[in-house]
Amino acid sequence: MNIKCDLKELINGLNIVSIATSVRTTMPILEGVLIEAYQDKLKLTTNNLELGCEHTFDCEIKEEGKTVVDIKMLNEIVRKIEDEKVEIYIEDNLFILKSVNGVFKLATMNANDYPKLPVFNVESTIELNQNIFKDMVKRTTFCVSSDENRPIYNGALVKVENNILTIVAVDGFRLALRKNLSEKNINDFKAIIPGKVLNDLLKILNEDEESLIKIGVNKNQALFQIGDSIIISRIIEGDFLNYNTIIPENYETKVRVKTKNLLDSFERVALFARENKEKDKKSPVKMKIGIDGIVLSCVSDTGDAKEVISSVVEGNDIEIGFNPRYVIEALKAIDDNEISIEFTSSISPVLIKPTVNNDYIYVVLPIKIKQ
pLDDT digit string, tens, across residues 127-174: 999 999 999 999 999 999 999 889 999 999 999 999 999 999 999 999
CATH superfamily of 2-113: DNA Polymerase III, subunit A, domain 2 (3.10.150.10)
Which fold would CATH assign to domain 125-242?
DNA Polymerase III; Chain A, domain 2 (3.10.150)
Strand order in the sheet with 2-6: 60-63, 2-6, 85-91, 94-98, 103-107
Quick check: 110 pLDDT over 60? yes
Judge whether 170 and 155 are in contact, CB under 8 Å: no
The pLDDT value recorded for residue 29 is 94
CATH superfamily of 247-364: DNA Polymerase III, subunit A, domain 2 (3.10.150.10)
- Could you tell me the residue ranges of all domains in the chain? 2-113, 125-242, 247-364
Angle ∠(236,239,231) on CA atoms, nearest 5: 25
The pLDDT value recorded for residue 39 is 94
Judge whether 114 and 22 are in contact, CB under 8 Å: no
Selection from 169, 183, 192 nearest residue 127 by Cα: 183
The pLDDT value recorded for residue 275 is 56
Identical fold, 2-113 and 247-364: yes
Quick check: 47 pLDDT over 80? yes
pTM: 0.91
Q: Model confidence at 119, in pLDDT bands (50, 70, 90)?
A: confident
